[in-house]
Amino acid sequence: MSLTSPGTPPPPQPPALRVAVLGAGTVGTEVLRLIAQQRGDLAHRIGADLEVVGIAVRDLTRDRGEHAGAELLTEDASELVRTADLVIEVMGGIEPARSLLLDAMAHGASVVTANKALLAQDGASLYEAADIHGVDLYFEAAVAGAIPLVRPVRESLAGDRIQRVLGIVNGTTNYVLDAMTRTGASFDAALASAQELGFAEADPTADVQGHDAAAKASILASLAFHSRVRLSDVHCEGITEVSPLDIAAAARMGRTIKLLSIVERVQDDLGERISARVYPALLPDEHPLASVSEAYNAVFIEADAAGSLMFYGQGAGGAPTASAILGDVVSAARQRVRGGVGPRESRYAELEQVPLDDLRNAFYVSLTVQDRPGVLAEIAGTLSGNGISISTIHQELLEKPEGEGEQALAHIGISTHRALESAMTASLDLFSSTSTVLSIDSVLRIEGV
Amino acid sequence: MSLTSPGTPPPPQPPALRVAVLGAGTVGTEVLRLIAQQRGDLAHRIGADLEVVGIAVRDLTRDRGEHAGAELLTEDASELVRTADLVIEVMGGIEPARSLLLDAMAHGASVVTANKALLAQDGASLYEAADIHGVDLYFEAAVAGAIPLVRPVRESLAGDRIQRVLGIVNGTTNYVLDAMTRTGASFDAALASAQELGFAEADPTADVQGHDAAAKASILASLAFHSRVRLSDVHCEGITEVSPLDIAAAARMGRTIKLLSIVERVQDDLGERISARVYPALLPDEHPLASVSEAYNAVFIEADAAGSLMFYGQGAGGAPTASAILGDVVSAARQRVRGGVGPRESRYAELEQVPLDDLRNAFYVSLTVQDRPGVLAEIAGTLSGNGISISTIHQELLEKPEGEGEQALAHIGISTHRALESAMTASLDLFSSTSTVLSIDSVLRIEGV
| pLDDT tens per residue across span B12-41 | 678 899 999 999 999 999 999 999 999 999
Q: What is the pLDDT of residue A8?
A: 60
Calculate how close chain A gets to B331, using CA atoms only, in Å. Answer: 7
Calculate how close chain B gets to A293, using CA atoms only, in Å. Answer: 13
Q: How distant, in Å, are the alpha carbons of A147, B147, B279 from that of B167? A: 17, 12, 11
Chain A CB contacts of B288 below 8 Å: 312
Q: What is the pLDDT of residues B55-70, one digit of tens each?
A: 999 988 888 888 888 8
Residue in B146, B156, B313 closest to A140 by CB: B156
Q: What is the pLDDT of residues B306-321, one digit of tens each?
A: 999 999 999 889 999 9
User: Considering Cα of B6, then B12, then B15, then B16, what sign does the dihedral take?
Assistant: negative
Q: What is the pLDDT of residue A94?
A: 96
What's the rounded mean pLDDT across residues B363-372?
95
Q: Which residue of B has its CA nearest to A297?
A: B309
Calculate how close chain B gets to A129, using CA atoms only, in Å. Answer: 17
Average pLDDT, chain B: 94
Residue in A148, A161, A306 closest to B38 by CB: A161
Q: What is the pLDDT of residue B407?
A: 82
pLDDT along chain A (449 residues), means of 10: 52 86 95 96 96 95 87 96 97 96 98 96 95 96 94 95 97 97 97 94 96 97 97 97 97 97 94 97 95 95 97 93 97 92 92 96 97 93 97 89 77 97 98 95 95
Contact A151 B147 (CB under 8 A): no
Q: What is the pLDDT of residue B10?
A: 61
Q: What is the pLDDT of residue B2?
A: 44
Contact B160 A326 (CB under 8 A): yes
Q: What is the pLDDT of residue B28?
A: 96
Q: What is the pLDDT of residues A49-83, one digit of tens each?
A: 999 999 999 988 888 888 888 899 999 999 999 99
Residue in B313, B322, B340 closest to A308 by CB: B313
- What's the one-letter identity of residue A187? F
Share of residues in chain B with pLDDT > 90 (%): 87
Chain A CB contacts of B333 below 8 Å: none
What's the rounded mean pLDDT across residues B236-241?
98
Contact A335 B339 (CB under 8 A): no
Q: What is the pLDDT of residue A65?
A: 85
Q: Which residue of A has its CA nearest to B310?
A: A312
What's the rounded mean pLDDT across residues B328-351?
93
Q: How distant, in Å, are the alpha carbons of A362, A417, B94 from that of A430? A: 19, 19, 70
Q: What is the pLDDT of residues B193-206, one digit of tens each?
A: 999 999 999 999 99
Domains along chain A with CATH numbers: 17-145+321-338 (3.40.50.720), 157-314 (3.30.360.10), 357-446 (3.30.70.260)
Contact B159 A323 (CB under 8 A): yes
Contact B148 A147 (CB under 8 A): no
Contact A34 B343 (CB under 8 A): no
Q: What is the pLDDT of residue A7?
A: 57
Q: What is the pLDDT of residues B398-431, one digit of tens each?
A: 877 676 667 889 999 999 999 999 999 999 999 9
Catalytic residues of A: 216
Contact B158 A330 (CB under 8 A): yes
Q: What is the pLDDT of residue A316?
A: 87
Residue in B146, B151, B311 closest to A311 by CB: B311
Calculate how close chain B gets to A392, using CA atoms only, in Å. Answer: 30
